Amino acid sequence: MRKEILSGLLGLLLALYLGPVHALTINLNDVGGVKNTPAETGVQKAATFWESLLTDNVTVNLNVGFDTLSPNVLGQASSSIITVNYSAVRNALIADVKTRSDLTATQNLAAGPTFDTFINRTSDHPNGAFSASPYLDNDGGINNANVYMTLANGRAIGLYHNPFVFDGTINFNTDHVWDFDNSDGIDSNAFDFVGVAIHEIGHSLGFISGVDRLDSGSLGSTTDNDYLSTTLDLFRYSDLSAISGVTDMSADHRDKFFSIDNGSTNLAFFSTGKHFGDGYQASHWRDRHGLGVMDPTFSRGELGFVTPEDLLALDVIGWDVLPAVPEPSTFALLMMGLAVIAFKHRHEINRASRNVRPSPEDKTPLSHS
């Protein structure tokens, strides 16, 4: 199953490289310090990279700044979000099916107006308020009937249309050493500016998780109805939840993984939470597994690299990664296709901030709140 899903992206990638028509447009608006600097070139390169991979006919508007931030912060970003009822999201994803992976993912979404999920640490926990043990939330409440997503993700699946609202803001810290040109590798004492920018844009495109709100307690003493899943969380499972064929929104140390076939196949591990999980926010892949540009950390001298896992995650939440073409049969070819196009060449409107902070191990968490 894993090989079929990932190999399907190879033909898409090779077709992309041969020059299909691209429709995604990312508009960048300088909010200070970017114009006529290497940062402008670097962010534009990151935007162009996503434009070359995603073919949705939508425009994403991002503010970008380059200025002094807190000493331990490399960058900060935010994305605007909306809340939509689950049925509308499911129908939109079904209407957006372009690939075999899309078909598999939508066929395995819960039918009906609600979906069930495991959750914990809520004030109405059946085993006692804020208990860490996961429980099955299947009462059809607000969080079972609604999903939130970034505006950009909403645009991609036709659920948001206002062209004048900005989708996000990214700021980079001028006080750190950056390598703005990733075509010849990354200097050993510098951070990959383009890779970090690609990562942050990836969050604005929809790579976010509602688990982070639960894990941080940012909403206060609340019931399960206050913790909504994101579109990406519709594909977040644990071994426990997979037995019941439902997702897992719990904040704890148990493994959580990406699956598009109702938890039967583990395609990649997610991070599990900064406070109650593995130390990294849930809106990322698990660290030190080399899963992709949406990993939670960067190191000095490390070249960011988009992987099949990164692309598949965006694909199944509604982005059109590439036009459908005949699918090749080997994983090796997929990796070759990725090598060809590698880096050479944050309801109502709310805000969800993301920060990049150096760590004692010279690994740099990319976080959001």
Helix axis angle, 308-316 to 100-107, nearest 10°: 50
Residue 71: pLDDT band by 50, 70, 90 thresholds?
A: confident
Cross-strand bridge partners of residue 273: 280
pLDDT of 325 strictly over 90? no
How high is the pLDDT of residue 16? 45
HEC profile of 301-350: CCCCCCCHHHHHHHHHCCCCCCCCCCCCCCHHHHHHHHHHCCCCCCCCCE
**Of 64-73, 119-128, 237-246, 256-265, the least confident:** 64-73
Q: Which helix (H) or strand (E) holds 85?
A: strand 75-85
Between helix 2-17 and helix 331-340 the angle, nearest 10°, is 30
Type of residue numbered 225: N
pLDDT of residue 22: 63
Could you give the CA distance from residue 121 to residue 132 in angstroms, rounded to a whole number? 5
- Of 345 and 303, more confident: 303
Confidence band of 356 (pLDDT split at 50, 70, 90): very low
**What pLDDT score was predicted for residue 69?**
83
* pLDDT-wise least confident of 130-139, 212-221, 237-246, 346-355: 346-355
Using the predicted structure, report yes or no on whether residue 303 has a pLDDT greater than 50: yes
Reported confidence tier of residue 358, pLDDT bands at 50, 70, 90: very low
- Note the pLDDT tens digit of each residue in 137-183: 999 999 999 999 999 999 999 999 999 999 999 999 898 899 999 99
- Rg of the chain over all Cα atoms, to the nearest angstrom: 19
Residue 330 has pLDDT above 50, yes or no: no
Q: Bridge-partner residues for 168, per DSSP? A: 62, 79
CA distances 255 to 167, 241, 250, Å, are 31, 11, 10
Pairing of strands 146-150, 229-230: parallel
Closest listed residue to residue 278, CA positions, set 256, 310, 246, 300? 256
Overall size of the chain counted in residues: 369
**What digits encode the pLDDT tens for the residues 170-193?**
999 898 899 999 999 999 999 999
Q: pLDDT tens-digit profile of 276-297?
A: 999 998 999 999 999 999 998 8
In this predicted structure, the answer to whether residue 363 has a pLDDT above a threshold of 70 is no
Greater confidence (32 vs 74) lies with 32
DSSP states of 171-219: EEETTS-EE--TBTB--TTSEEHHHHHHHHHHHHHT---THHHHHHTTT
pLDDT reported for residue 78: 87
